[in-house]
């Protein structure tokens, strides 16, 4: 395994990208998908249980992974978004070295990290991001998203703390809150997504996933949506390893892995 820690800097803020690149011991030239994992934590921290354990599970399916511990408060939008973009650029630049399939770079996020992953999914080709980073869209295009109990809306069903941390002094500005209410930003250039949530989630209501899925449907962007009846928020793998054992949700990681491996991610 290639396991490195790489600094991803945006202005005064520094993120850390940890690589979990699978060795090609049997097939030296085999290329594999890569999942970029964005842990949750309400934009105040990044949760370790939603980082390395997820990367190692993806490795067990034959999928490369990286974990991005992005900058949180006092860093504000779009700092973490810029760090995701720079990470995807770095991964695509190293695709040959790391045996990554450049057409299968997937961004996976939990909770607020799900908001970050979705933000990248809707903003990756927008002028404000490309201009600030001096990038071309093909350098950072995400091929798919995996969204785990994601924060999506700043409206009625918002996880208020996430938006307060993300926007800082701009948290009450209607225009900024509208911009980061992601169900309102979906268009046909968003990549397809695998989304899961639980009906019982009391911190980030299931309406977040439903609002996103409805917006994607209207924009004709394919998605797989799985709503599990049992389980609260922040489940990770739903196992003892990630702190809360909820057997009903445990299949999600294999389902997501199969979705990545079996999907072509070609544009419709």
* Structure confidence by residue, pLDDT tens digits, 43-87: 999 999 999 999 999 999 999 999 999 999 999 999 999 999 999
Which three-class secondary structure state does DSSP give residue 192?
coil
State the pLDDT at residue 33.
97
The residue whose two tokens read 């003892």 is 240
**Residue 190 to residue 265: CA distance in whole angstroms:** 12
State the pLDDT at residue 27.
84
State the pLDDT at residue 268.
55
State the pLDDT at residue 162.
97
Cβ(43)–Cβ(159) under 8 Å? no
Cβ(67)–Cβ(51) under 8 Å? yes
Low-confidence stretches of the chain (pLDDT beneath 50) = none
Dihedral angle sign, alpha carbons of residues 120, 121, 127, 133: positive
Q: What are phi and psi of 34, to 5 degrees?
A: -130, 135
Is the pTM here over 0.85, yes or no? yes
State the pLDDT at residue 28.
84
State the pLDDT at residue 264.
83
Cβ(104)–Cβ(37) under 8 Å? no
Going by C-alpha positions, the residue among 232, 239, 227 that lies closest to residue 200 is 232
Q: Are strands 13-20 and 64-69 parallel, antiparallel or unpaired?
A: antiparallel
């Amino acid at each position: 395994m290639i396991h490195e820690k790489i600094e991803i800097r945006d202005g005064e803020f520094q993120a850390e990208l940890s690589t979990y690149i699978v060795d090609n011991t049997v097939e030296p030239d085999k290329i594999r998908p890569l999942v970029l994992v964005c842990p949750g934590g309400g934009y105040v921290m990044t949760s370790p249980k939603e980082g390395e354990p997820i990367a190692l599970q993806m490795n067990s399916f034959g999928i490369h992974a990286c974990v991005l511990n992005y900058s949180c408060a006092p860093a504000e939008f779009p700092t973490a978004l810029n760090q995701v973009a720079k990470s995807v650029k770095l991964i695509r630049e190293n695709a040959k070295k790391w045996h990554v399939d450049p057409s299968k770079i997937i961004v996976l996020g939990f909770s607020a990290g799900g908001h970050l992953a979705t933000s990248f999914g809707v903003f990756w080709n927008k002028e404000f991001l490309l201009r600030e980073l001096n990038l071309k869209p093909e350098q950072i295009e995400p091929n798919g998203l995996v969204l785990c109990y994601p924060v999506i809306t700043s409206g009625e069903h918002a996880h208020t703390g996430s938006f307060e941390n993300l926007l800082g002094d701009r948290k009450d500005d209607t225009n900024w809150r509208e911009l980061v209410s992601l169900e309102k930003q979906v268009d046909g250039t968003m990549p397809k997504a695998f989304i899961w949530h639980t009906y019982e989630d009391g911190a980030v209501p299931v309406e977040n996933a439903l609002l996103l899925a409805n917006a994607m449907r209207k924009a004709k962007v394919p998605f797989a949506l799985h709503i599990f009846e049992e389980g609260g928020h922040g489940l990770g793998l739903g196992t003892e390893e990630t702190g809360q054992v909820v057997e009903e949700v445990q299949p999600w990681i294999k389902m997501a892995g199969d979705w990545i491996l079996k999907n072509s991610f070609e544009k419709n």
